[in-house]
Amino acid sequence: MKLSYAKHTLGNGLDVLLHEDHACPIVAVNVWYHVGSKNEHPGHTGFAHLFEHLMFEGSQHHDRGFFQPLQGAGATLNGSTNADRTNYWEVVPPNALELALWMESDRMGFLLPALTEAKFSNQRDVVLNERRQNYENRPYGLAPMALLAALFPPDHPYHWTTIGEIADLQAVQLDEVHAFFRRYYHPANASLALAGDFDPDEALGLVDQYFGTIDAGLRVGPVRASASLSDETRLFFEDRVELPRLYFAWLTPAMFADGDADLDLATDLLANGKTSRLYRRLVFEQRIATDVSASQNSREIAGYAQITATAAPDHALDEIEAVIVDEIARLAAEGPTDDEIDRGRVQAEAQFVFRLQTIGGFGGKSDQLNAYNVFLGDPAYFDRDLERYHAVTASSLRQAVAQYLDPLRRVTLSIVPRGRADLAAGGSTLAVVS
Amino acid sequence: MTARPGPVDGRAVMVDRSRLPEPGPAKPFTFPSIEKSTLPNGLGLWTVTHAQVPVVSLMLLVRCGAAADPPGRDGLAATTADMLDEGSGDRSAIEVHEALARIGAQFDTDIGSDAIVVSTTVLSRFTDRALALLSDVVVRPALRESDFDRVRQLRLHRLTQLRDVPGAVADRAFLKLLYGDHPYGHAPIGSESALTAMTVDDVRTFHASAIRPSAATLIAVGDCAHGEIARIASDAFADWSTGSASLSGERSGDEGRAFERSAESRALPRSPRLALVPRAKAPQSELRIGHVTVARDTPDYHALVVANMILGGQFVSRINLNLREDKGFTYGARTAFEFRRLPSPFVLQVSVQTTATAEAIHEAIGEIADIRGPRPVTPEELALGTAALTRGYARSFETADQIARAVMQLALYDLPDDYFVTFVPSIERVTCDEVSRVMTRHVDPARLLTLIVGDPDAAGANLARLDLGDPQILLPETF
């Protein structure tokens, strides 16, 4: 199984990845900038994401909204920011490929002359509303703030969330936007992928024409930081919720590092879906939880695994905790069954094939090529990525669980209904979240 | 204008940034063609060959949804749908899911007002096993009492949790106020009292009467041929009997149309102009503004789709540009005609910062009123809205799952086979005058219900100047 591509590097260092797929008359344009909230600093959080919003507000030669001409040409488009990268994409009919390249190159090369205090202040308000909608006004919405702050030390760039702190967003000044753009938004820190129905020579010519003259800019060095947990941290806070919820989190290997795929499969077999061990015990048999889920969240310089379960009415988080601890210990001691390993393997294969179905958007083929290129410098990594999952054995998975899902180096968080601090898991202290 | 030389094949070319490149002629697109047959038991089989990736999407549509919940049993259709994968024959729920996991299947059950859809996407080499499993869950679910007790309990817990989700509170209260006791007046999940009163026999009866081959269409899209799917499906669904009993839920043939006529004739309640569900100290107000309007089969469908695009159906719509890009009140605002088989809601939905509640409502209602005539759609807006719908249309047919969902719309709303081919010209025929006409005919600012889920003190300030009367206060326990 392959995700084929051709890679070119323009004179200014911009990586260009081309993947032809003529099945449907559409082309995906996907740009990654290797910058995210981990490039921020305490007191200035939320900035990378706020900046992403400004990229849709017009650039020097098209000083109007970014959406209008593209939607008028039949495009769909969006962008997103996470801890490690910012991406922007359009999916356009083939006849609008040049338009999309014009627009993307104009904001890569000429954003700042169009940036005004009014746009900046408007998008700051929009982002504060995004934060209210997706975090503050949502049940359990502040959990990521508490977990990340407890897992990573204050000077580690995964200590804060990508949406950022309210006070930081309110304090940020327009001149910081200029400095940020100059430092991170240029060809030497970007990767462009095209996928879909286009002629590669023609497309490369257009890319070179529109992007080739943009100044390379400085290369951005890697962010270095380390984190470790030496004991268990037990926290709780009150929220506008009906049922208490328990979170466990551990520090784990970074994306693509040894143990990452093992923990991805381990969290699946522990708590994802009705076949998982914890669903069976907590929800199906004992009925003490209403839901349970888990994930290995692998990021560029570190990862964290998480298990989440919500208590059924009249059941204590301590009961749920005991079952989770027991199931992890059993997996660490005995490892998975052959059937679990076989299922994990087939599911990984299916998920990788499903990923080949779409050229654009979040997670489409163009986005995957950029991910492999930006994080590994190797867009050909698709099939080796699947290999990582096929290489997982019962013994490697068992070892990863034993090593990383350690009950003594863990964050335990309870979110309980207002006024019901007594429902938090035993021994928890109040976490401050905002 | 900025023009800079750039090297391509050693030649210097000028980049013209003085104007945007004009798209050239569009590439032709061949829409998926549907092959149809009917199995002896009446099950419709529709397939589309789409062989780009070795994947098959299977979708079983049953034209019977939450609108068929019997009186006092709100949530029965959804509970029945939820019970389908809770064991089959001798297999437990977990064994059913282990079988799905062994073939790496993605599996989903969806429920709406008018339909239940059970779908799975698999690697094409597992098509036969996936069809057998699909048949097991839909035709031969175990429907055991102990599983029912657990599923019902989980759904009751879910209802409890939804009391704290502002969007879910708003959706449920809005439907209740718009539709009352009409079949569309409740969300598929139902109510606490109805779920508490429900028994496993209700589920068994509903399954036997509503989930029948004559009300169903099996859709298969992917790396597969019609004949092959027909052969496997004939086998897998052979013992699905046509059944005899009929609930109000049966939704095919004459009985189905009779059900719809009786539902349609049920009077809608007189909605208040303004209602508020208190959520003390909420940082945002969750808003719904709308009323009941026409059904999916309206001849004005295409004109309403274009009108909605311009009003609130895309990023550059009037309402989003106003509330987000001009005022910064929200992360995003949108409107939709939520088309169904019976008269359907038109609704604007948005979460706004609490302090801006009254002004956001004023602006939103103003935009809805203005597009009907006072500030009619301009030719530029029409061109943009139309182009956004037509030029990107091919994009909706990229994956097997997308095609299956598009085809499902034809089956659910009785649309003709050439529907996809005629969509673009039908949209392109819409004029500015027609947008004004259909919005005047089908949307009435004086009838709009505005619902707020938010802080009664802070959001409530300035509501009086909206001239919508005192808000009717609803408590989350009452709907």
Label each residue of B41-98 as H, E or C.
CCCEEEEEECCCCCEEEEEEEECCCHHHCCCCCCCHHHHHHHHCCCEECCEEHHHHHH
User: In the structure, what pLDDT confidence band is assigned to residue B96 with cuts at 50, 70 and 90?
Assistant: very high
A343/B102 Cβ within 8 A: yes
A15-20 vs A190-196, strand pairing mode: parallel
CB-count exposure of residue B376 (10 Å: 0-12, 13-18, 19+): middle
Residues of A in contact with B403 (CB under 8 A): none
**In Å, how far is B381's CA from the nearest CA of chain A?**
10
Residues B295, B249 share a domain:
no
Q: What is the pLDDT of residues B161-184, one digit of tens each?
A: 999 999 999 999 999 999 999 999
Residues of B in contact with A134 (CB under 8 A): 331
**B317 DSSP assignment:** S
A205/B384 Cβ within 8 A: no
Q: Which residue do the tokens 């095609």 mark?
A: B403
- What are the residues whose beta carbons fall under 8 Å from the beta carbon of B405, sequence distance 6 or more? B59
User: In the structure, what pLDDT confidence band is assigned to residue B479 with cuts at 50, 70 and 90?
Assistant: confident
Residues of B in contact with A71 (CB under 8 A): 314-316, 384, 387-388
A290/B161 Cβ within 8 A: yes
For chain B, state the CA radius of gyration. 25
pLDDT (mean) for B254-273: 74
B18/A213 Cβ within 8 A: no
> Does A420 touch chain B if contact means CB atoms closer than 8 Å?
no
Q: Of B471, B439, B438, nearest to B361 (Cα)?
A: B471
User: For B331, which of A129, A275, A353 is closest by C-beta distance?
Assistant: A129
Residues B301, B162 share a domain:
no
**A110: closest chain B residue by CA:** B2
**In Å, how far is A96's CA from the nearest CA of chain B?**
5
**Residue B59 CA from chain centroid, whole number:** 16
**In Å, how far is A264's CA from the nearest CA of chain B?**
16
User: In the structure, what pLDDT confidence band is assigned to residue B478 with cuts at 50, 70 and 90?
Assistant: confident
CA dihedral A20, A22, A27, A30 (to 10 degrees): -30
pLDDT (mean) for B105-121: 98
Tell whether B357 is covered by a domain: yes
B320: containing domain:
274-478
Instruction: Calculate the average pLDDT of chain B.
Output: 92
pTM: 0.95
B23/A96 Cβ within 8 A: yes
The Cα B448–Cα B437 span in angstroms is 18
For residue B312, report the phi and psi dihedrals to the nearest 5 degrees: -160, 20
Residues of A in contact with B397 (CB under 8 A): 24
User: For B283, which of A125, A137, A354 is closest by C-beta distance?
Assistant: A137
**A197: closest chain B residue by CA:** B27
- pLDDT, residue A1, reads 78
Tell whether B176 is covered by a domain: yes
Element (H, E) at A387: helix A382-390
pLDDT (mean) for B25-54: 94
- Give me the percent of chain A exceeding a pLDDT of 90: 99
A132/B351 Cβ within 8 A: yes
Q: What is the pLDDT of residues B213-245, one digit of tens each?
A: 999 999 999 999 999 999 999 999 999 987 644
B121/A137 Cβ within 8 A: no
Q: Which residue do the tokens 């939804």 mark?
A: B162
Residues B359, B316 share a domain:
yes
DSSP states of B158-222? HHHHHTT-HHHHHHHHHHHHHHTTSTTSS-TT--HHHHHH--HHHHHHHHHHHS-GGGEEEEEEE
CATH superfamily of A233-430: Metalloenzyme, LuxS/M16 peptidase-like (3.30.830.10)
> Does B458 touch chain A if contact means CB atoms closer than 8 Å?
no
Residues of A in contact with B123 (CB under 8 A): 349-350, 353
> Does B395 touch chain A if contact means CB atoms closer than 8 Å?
yes
**In Å, how far is A389's CA from the nearest CA of chain B?**
14
Residues B351, B245 share a domain:
no
Residues of B in contact with A106 (CB under 8 A): 17
A356/B393 Cβ within 8 A: no
B6/A95 Cβ within 8 A: no
Q: What is the pLDDT of residues B378-387, one digit of tens each?
A: 999 999 999 9
Q: Where are the beta strands (DSSP E) in A262-406?
A: 289-298, 303-311
B384/A240 Cβ within 8 A: no
User: In the structure, what pLDDT confidence band is assigned to residue B185 with cuts at 50, 70 and 90?
Assistant: very high
> B 140-179 residues with CB below 8 A of A?
150, 153-154, 157-158, 160-161, 163-166
Contacts of the segment B202-205: beta carbons below 8 A, 24+ positions apart: B202/B70, B202/B73, B202/B76, B203/B76, B203/B79, B203/B80, B203/B83, B203/B143, B203/B148, B204/B143, B205/B245, B205/B247
Q: Of B157, B135, B173, B28, nearest to B479 (Cα)?
A: B173
Tell whether B7 is covered by a domain: no
> Does A339 touch chain B if contact means CB atoms closer than 8 Å?
yes
- pLDDT, residue B256, reads 62
Q: What is the pLDDT of residues B366-413, one digit of tens each?
A: 999 999 989 999 999 999 999 999 999 999 999 999 999 999 999 999
- pLDDT, residue B266, reads 74
| A249 contacts A411 by C-beta, under 8 angstroms | yes
> Does A202 touch chain B if contact means CB atoms closer than 8 Å?
no
| Total domains in the fold of chain B | 2
B1/A339 Cβ within 8 A: no
The Cα A129–Cα A107 span in angstroms is 25
The Cα A92–Cα B394 span in angstroms is 10
**B32 DSSP assignment:** P
Element (H, E) at A90: strand A86-92
Q: What is the pLDDT of residues A254-267, one digit of tens each?
A: 999 999 999 999 99
For chain A, state the CA radius of gyration. 23
**In Å, how far is A195's CA from the nearest CA of chain B?**
13
Tell whether B20 is covered by a domain: no
B398/A11 Cβ within 8 A: no
A349/B8 Cβ within 8 A: no
Q: In chain A, which segments carry CATH 3.30.830.10?
A: 6-211, 233-430
**A138 DSSP assignment:** S
Residues B416, B306 share a domain:
yes
Residue type, B294: V
> B 277-316 residues with CB below 8 A of A?
282-284, 286, 314-316
A6-211 CATH pick, 3.30.830.10, 3.60.20.10, 3.30.110.40, 3.30.750.24:
3.30.830.10
Residues B290, B247 share a domain:
no
Residue finishing a domain among B211, B230, B265: B265
The Cα B79–Cα A366 span in angstroms is 40
| A421 contacts A238 by C-beta, under 8 angstroms | yes
- pLDDT, residue B11, reads 42
Residues B397, B289 share a domain:
yes
> Does B419 touch chain A if contact means CB atoms closer than 8 Å?
no
Q: Where are the beta strands (DSSP E) in A205-254?
A: 233-239, 245-252
B166/A132 Cβ within 8 A: no
Residues B286, B252 share a domain:
no
**A62 DSSP assignment:** B
Tell whether B437 is covered by a domain: yes
> A 87-146 residues with CB below 8 A of B?
91-96, 98-99, 102-103, 106, 110, 121-126, 128-130, 132-134, 136-139
Residues B442, B348 share a domain:
yes
B157/A132 Cβ within 8 A: no
Copy the structure tokens of residue A337: 């069954």
Q: Select from A10, A20, A22, A24 the residue whose CB has the most chain B CBs within 10 Å, as the one to mutate to test that interface.
A: A24
Residues in chain A where the model's pLDDT stays below 70: none
Residues of B in contact with A61 (CB under 8 A): 1-2, 17-18
Residues B408, B358 share a domain:
yes
Q: Select from A10, A102, A133 the residue whose CB has the most chain B CBs within 10 Å, as the one to mutate to test that interface.
A: A133
- pLDDT, residue B264, reads 67
| B84 contacts B131 by C-beta, under 8 angstroms | no
Q: Select from A78, A129, A132 the residue whose CB has the most chain B CBs within 10 Å, as the one to mutate to test that interface.
A: A129
Residue finishing a domain among B205, B232, B265: B265
Tell whether the model's pLDDT for residue B137 goes beyond 70.
yes
Query: Counting one residue from A and one from B, how many pairs have CB atoms under 8 Å apart?
Result: 228
Say which range, A254-258, B263-267, B311-315, has the weakest mean pLDDT: B263-267
**A255 DSSP assignment:** T
User: For B15, which of A205, A210, A339 is closest by C-beta distance?
Assistant: A210
Residues B321, B176 share a domain:
no
> Does A337 touch chain B if contact means CB atoms closer than 8 Å?
no
Q: What is the CATH number of the domain that holds B303?
A: 3.30.830.10
Residue finishing a domain among B265, B294, B327: B265
Tell whether B19 is covered by a domain: no
- pLDDT, residue B267, reads 80
B330-337 vs B472-473, strand pairing mode: unpaired
Tell whether B331 is covered by a domain: yes
A102/B20 Cβ within 8 A: yes
- pLDDT, residue B243, reads 63
User: For A26, which of B21, B284, B398 is closest by C-beta distance?
Assistant: B398
> B 53-82 residues with CB below 8 A of A?
53-55
> A 260-279 residues with CB below 8 A of B?
273-275
Q: Of A169, A178, A69, nearest to A116 (Cα)?
A: A178
> Does B399 touch chain A if contact means CB atoms closer than 8 Å?
yes
Q: Of B133, B143, B132, B43, nearest to B84 (Cα)?
A: B143
Tell whether B15 is covered by a domain: no
Residues B259, B308 share a domain:
no
CA geometry: angle B327, B332, B333, nearest 5 deg: 90
